Chains A and B, each alone.
Chain A
Amino acid sequence: DAKTTQPPSMDCAEGRAANLPCNHSTISGNEYVYWYRQIHSQGPQYIIHGLKNNETNEMASLIITEDRKSSTLILPHATLRDTAVYYCIVRATHNAGNMLTFGGGTRLMVKP
């Protein structure tokens, strides 16, 4: 699976949009972009995933550039409970191992 690069940390004001970037310049055509997050002392939580079209669900939006070399996770109205480490993962879903390769992630701190 392709490697991803994320900033180690970010701050966001409560109620504002949090925009978390991810670079995946070596992504191949059959690889999806997944986002998970880990709130302190909890297990990782799935947020969203996409291939090339932008995606939106009740938690977030995922914007993938046309060349697919980068993406942005958007939390439209961040709350204090969104403080967590966010992981951008590139994964080929045909991979029989189906493993998720977690990197260092971005530690998002939402401040009042």
Chain B
Amino acid sequence: DTGVSQDPRHKITKRGQNVTFRCDPISEHNRLYWYRQTLGQGPEFLTYFQNEAQLEKSRLLSDRFSAERPKGSFSTLEIQRTEQGDSAMYLCASRPLGQGYESGYNSPLHFGNGTRLTVT
């Protein structure tokens, strides 16, 4: 278990630029989530993938945001035309596919260390 990996750790960009973040989940984890965390707040759900299928998107995910998981392994989150309000920590998390009360959707989320985005 090498953990969830996110790249880059930090990104500084100018308003209006496009940015892309990558998440590599734990290899056997089929379920992948993106969250956004702003200063002084808990993580907020952005989107969920099961294998390569994007099954839910939050209303927080405006049309400037797009996420993909093309082969059901790594995922990318792209923000187009960044705004200062996009400055936040973007967290990726994964969990295994499983059934039953204690497993599956109730198993712990494994988080990466996040990508901190600063839009100037």
Chain A bound to chain B: no
B positions within 8 Å CB-CB of A: none
A positions within 8 Å CB-CB of B: none
